[in-house]
Amino acid sequence: MSGAKKLYIKTYGCQMNVYDSERMAEAMGSAGYVETDTPDDADMILLNTCHIREKAAEKVYSELGRFRPLKDARPDLKIGVAGCVAQAEGDEIMRRQPLVDLVVGPQSYHRLPQLEAQTRTGARALDTDFPLDDKFEALKTRGPKASRGPTAFLTVQEGCDKFCAFCVVPYTRGAEASRPAARILDEARELVDRGVREITLLGQNVNAYHGAGPEGSDWSLARLIWALDAIDGLERIRFTTSHPNDMADDLIEAHGTCAKLMPYLHLPVQSGSDRILKRMNRKHTAESYLRLIERIRAARPDILMSGDFIVGFPEETEDDFQATMDLIEEVKYGYAYSFKYSTRPGTPAAERAQLDEDVKTDRLHRLQARITHHQRAIQDAMVGRTLGVLFEKPGRLPGQMVGKSDYLHAVHVADCPLQPGDLARVEITESGSNSLAGRLVSPSGA
């Protein structure tokens, strides 16, 4: 493709940003761009940013500064900022960083080609509206598509109405909105035609999904999962991320009855102290969360739980922190993401007295040590079991392949005759620092 312009996208933050970056690359493909994996020869650089914690946002400004020599050398280079920092601080980015030609918020990605055209006239472009048209429908590219790897993300729901006191998402991604089921199913079939075997449904509050069904009434996430289950060639379904209060009965039941729905659930709790949960505006208690997990485990006993935790939220005492440690002890997470509370301007908790950084750091270390202990024990307990593995790519050693188990652990198999996209039964023989190793039991029928 001689003459094509080159687009370099750098993605920060969550999986939804990964999905959005793919959509933006496709949209810019229609505008004559091909993707490149280095900023050095790019005609356009796009940072797809994350605003969830302070450090994430600061990284964007320092990264932008690093592009100055490139822009000095090639004044035609266009630099754009997308994502949640763009949404929250669009005007400030324009003021603070004259290098930036374009700012586009997550709800306006379908307008990216027009905005890029605007920058070609020498103007700067800013779009952080919340338009009502269907962004994903408008982002759809027509014509044949290249084949792709065996796993894909698919956004089904965006935004959040929960307003946890620490969180910027309801402000940057807007109100909860679900895509119509038929559009999601079309996109899933197309992904499967392109070689995808596993789809992770994405949403900031994915289990609150309530998109229009083909016959008019709203579908729940479970209903959508069952419709995806019927697609031949699609082997695995996952979803993330969920709020405990939206874990509906039909979704819990699907974990027990839908064979394609993987035994893994990311269900953030944030804290184990009712006092702090109330101040966080989480609208659930530690007890209600634990009872919920009991019900989920009754439906699917081997489910692997994953969670998010915030330590050092305003007013968190040592007793509150101990309550979080107790909850962790009871649930025994296979994975967890833990963070020191970070003040986000414009959120209710930002106005409150903040804890010392040292206290936060100490609690984070203690919490992470406990989680790591459980994570290790759970991973080690896979040795001797035979698990389904979806192979994704060759490993570092000759003949080796790497895939993911049903529980999302990386699994290495030596002398493996299979290809990316193959699903097989693997007997786990070893548990390493970050992955498992095993041998093929049967190359099919996982």
Please give the Cα distance from 179 to 219 (Å, whole number).
10
User: Would you give the DSSP letter of residue 261?
Assistant: B
Give the number of other Cβ atoms within 10 Å of residue 37's Cβ.
11
Contact characters 251-270, ligand 5AD, x per CB under 6 A: -----------------x-x
What residues between 326 and 355 interact with ligand 5AD by CB under 6 A?
A: 339, 341-342, 344
The end-to-end CA distance of the chain, in Å, is 41
User: Interface with ligand 5AD includes 110 (CB under 6 A)?
Assistant: no
From ligand 5AD, ligand SF4, none, interface partner of 204 (C-beta below 5 to 8 A by class): ligand SF4
Please give the Cα distance from 36 to 40 (Å, whole number).
9
Which CB atom, from 114 or from 288, has the smaller least distance to ligand 5AD?
A: 288
Among 351, 276, 343, 356, residue whose Cα is nearest residue 309: 276
| 14 labelled ligand-binding | yes
What residues between 103 and 162 interact with ligand SF4 by CB under 6 A?
A: 160, 162
From ligand 5AD, ligand SF4, none, interface partner of 344 (C-beta below 5 to 8 A by class): ligand 5AD
Out of 163, 302, 365, 393, point to the residue binding ligand SF4 (CB under 6 A). 163
Q: Are strands 423-431 and 386-394 parallel, antiparallel or unpaired?
A: antiparallel
How near is the Cβ of 355 to ligand 5AD at its closest, in Å?
A: 12
From ligand 5AD, ligand SF4, none, interface partner of 360 (C-beta below 5 to 8 A by class): none
How near is the Cβ of 170 to ligand SF4 at its closest, in Å?
A: 5
What is the maximum span of the chain, computed from C-alpha positions, in angstroms?
64
How near is the Cβ of 168 to ligand 5AD at its closest, in Å?
A: 7
- Give the angle subtended at the CA of 99 by the CAs of 94 and 102, to the nearest 5°: 55
Nearby residues of 339 by Cβ (< 8 Å), 6 or more positions away = 53, 308, 309, 310, 311, 364
How near is the Cβ of 148 to ligand SF4 at its closest, in Å?
A: 28
410 φ/ψ sector (left φ>0, alpha ψ -120 to 50, else beta): beta
Q: Are strands 151-155 and 125-127 parallel, antiparallel or unpaired?
A: unpaired
Q: Given the rule CB under 6 A, which residues bind ligand 5AD?
A: 52-53, 166-167, 268, 270, 308, 310, 339, 341-342, 344
Residues forming the annotated binding site for [4Fe-4S] cluster? 14, 50, 84, 160, 164, 167
Chain contacts with ligand SF4 (rule: CB under 6 A)? 160, 162-164, 167, 169-170, 204-205, 243
